[in-house]
Amino acid sequence: MRVSLIVDIAKALMVARLKQTMVAAVGVTFSITMFIALLGFMNGLNDLLDGLILNRTAHVRFYNDIKPNEDQPINLSNEFSGGYNIIRSVKPSISRVSIYNNESIIRTLKGDERILGVAPKIAVQVFFNVGNVDIPGVLNGIQVDEENRLFAFSDYVVAGDFMDLQYSSNSIILGKGAAEKMMAEIGDYVQVTTAQGNRQLLKVVGYYQSGIGELDNLQSYVSLASAQKLLGETSSFITDIQVKLHDFNLSPELAREYRSIFGIDADDIQTVNAQFETGSNIRSIISYAVGITLLVVSGFGIYNILNMMIYEKMDTIAILKAIGFSGADVRNIFITIALSIGFVGGLLGLFFGFISCLGIEKIPFETEALPAIKTFPVNFNPKYYLIGGVFSLVTTYFAGFFPSRKASKIDPVEIIRGK
């Protein structure tokens, strides 16, 4: 049977029951709209929450861990070599905190095509001397330009210019919480003391706020040169090498590989921050489940409407079959009706879903913990729209398939005899 004739008959049946057809289309439109809005908002929220930690965390971190020496004297003695030695209260040995031969290591890492960039760092335990009170803190000596390129450092500097660290010697960007404790304004000087007793005055050039209160109360930032000067070390002294990869999924493999080559400790982001990835996956699963449930519910609505349409159009179906339409032709007519409802409703749903996401993105969302965030986060990933469009057609197809199969099996003789 000609396709155009089937389409014309399907169109006539839909127009005849225009109110029911519109109700079905509105159901699909609402489901797709909510599906797109829900996924866009939930995944935007995921990006925001993960970004608080993951964007500021190296994919792989190389360092020298402080740990007890595994080669204890009793284990090296021939007299006790045949026994099982139990040693308690083993204290960490005096070990090198700095990374030896770090310049060669950095050159090797930069030559790896999997690596986006490398940023050296020095972590210094200090006390901020405020009157008679010593406030504990951590100074992070960073290479400012690389830290900003790889970890979006400037996004978290809420006051002042982050480049002042590089251009102004003996300068510091204080954590927001630490600055509030010390009541330090930009332009003030703060005195810091290291664990070794070195003291230095540093000029406050900005505030840093990550959105995590515990970090903002402790962490502050200085340039790499300022940290080396504070510790009385040479320009080759660093305690950490931070690595950012093109694909962070390769971080466990790369950490294992270079840990054995360099003979230093290495942490990868997937191991250290596994809980954040788990939380993101669970939130995504929930949003997908709710969205798909909405689509399935709308599919049942279309199924019921087509069932009623078939019941009311029994005589029409009988006449079609009596004049030569096959069961397959009748089935195709009702599947065409279902797909038309799914296509129109899905198209409108994608449009209104996009509009809803734009509206959510304009809703003010201001909090002191996240000063860089002004509105609710939304993710406009095209795959959500593709999934929504495909599901609208799939669910409406199956919603029309079963009623259409019932219609294709109608015996026109029994219907006409009954009439």
| Amino acid present at 255 | A
Shared domain check, 291 and 260: no
Burial of 324 by CB count in 10 Å (0-12 exposed, 13-18 middle, 19+ buried)?
exposed
Task: Using DSSP, state whether 238 is helix, strand or coil.
Answer: coil
Task: Using DSSP, state whether 400 is helix, strand or coil.
Answer: helix
pLDDT of residue 316: 72
pTM: 0.67
225, 243, 270 - which closes a domain: 270
216, 238, 270 - which closes a domain: 270
Shared domain check, 265 and 118: yes
Average pLDDT over residues 256-270: 87
- Least-confidence region, from 65-79, 227-241, 263-277: 65-79
Shared domain check, 110 and 244: yes
Give residue-wise pLDDT tens across range 318-350.
777 777 778 788 888 888 888 888 888 889 999
Biggest CA pair distance of the chain: 108
CA-based nearest residue to 151, from 137, 140, 164, 167: 140
In a domain, 81, yes or no: no
Shared domain check, 359 and 317: yes
In a domain, 382, yes or no: yes
In angstroms and rounded to an integer, the radius of gyration of the C-alpha atoms of the chain is 33
- Number of folded domains that form the chain: 2
Tokens in use for 347? Answer: 């198209």
pLDDT of residue 120: 92
Average pLDDT over residues 262-278: 78
Alpha carbon separation from 369 to 52, 177, 276 (Å, rounded): 11, 10, 19
Alpha carbon separation from 144 to 75, 121, 165, 228 (Å, rounded): 46, 10, 7, 14
Q: Is the pLDDT of residue 94 over 60?
A: no
Shared domain check, 259 and 112: yes
pLDDT of residue 92: 61
Location of structure tokens 């515990």: 214
Shared domain check, 244 and 98: yes
- How far is the C-alpha of 229 from the C-alpha of 221, rounded, in Å? 14
Residue 246 DSSP class: S
Alpha carbon separation from 379 to 138, 280, 410 (Å, rounded): 35, 14, 49
Q: What is the dihedral of CA 404, 311, 2, 336, to 10 degrees?
A: -50
**DSSP-derived secondary structure for 136-168:** EEEEEEE-HHHHHHHH-GGGGEEEE-TTHHHHS
In a domain, 219, yes or no: yes
Shared domain check, 266 and 291: no
- How far is the C-alpha of 225 from the C-alpha of 142, rounded, in Å? 8
The confidence band for 352, taking pLDDT boundaries of 50, 70 and 90, is very high
In a domain, 79, yes or no: no
In a domain, 86, yes or no: no
pLDDT of residue 76: 66
Tokens in use for 154? Answer: 């400037």
pLDDT of residue 356: 92
Return the percentage of the chain with pLDDT > 90, whole number.
10
- How far is the C-alpha of 90 from the C-alpha of 75, rounded, in Å? 13
pLDDT of residue 358: 92
Q: Is the pLDDT of residue 307 over 80?
A: no
Return the percentage of the chain with pLDDT > 70, whole number.
84
Residue 220 DSSP class: E
Is residue 173 left, alpha or beta, with left meaning phi > 0 and alpha meaning psi from -120 to 50? beta
Average pLDDT over residues 36-59: 80
In a domain, 87, yes or no: no
In a domain, 38, yes or no: yes
Give residue-wise pLDDT tens across range 203-226.
999 988 877 777 778 889 999 988
In a domain, 83, yes or no: no
pLDDT of residue 300: 77
pLDDT of residue 370: 65
Shared domain check, 99 and 25: no
Task: Using DSSP, state whether 57 is helix, strand or coil.
Answer: coil
- Least-confidence region, from 64-78, 161-175, 260-274: 64-78
245, 270, 295 - which closes a domain: 270
Average pLDDT over residues 293-317: 72
Shared domain check, 296 and 191: no
- How far is the C-alpha of 338 from the C-alpha of 25, rounded, in Å? 9
Give residue-wise pLDDT tens across range 112-139.
899 999 999 998 888 888 888 888 888 9
Domain around 15: 3-54+276-418
Helix (H) or strand (E) holding 16: helix 3-16
Shared domain check, 258 and 283: no
Shared domain check, 231 and 137: yes
Alpha carbon separation from 284 to 29, 45, 280, 289 (Å, rounded): 22, 10, 6, 8
Cβ–Cβ under 8 Å, residues 109 and 76: no
Q: Is the pLDDT of residue 371 over 80?
A: no
Shared domain check, 244 and 222: yes
Alpha carbon separation from 111 to 108, 119, 120, 183, 203 (Å, rounded): 5, 14, 16, 45, 37
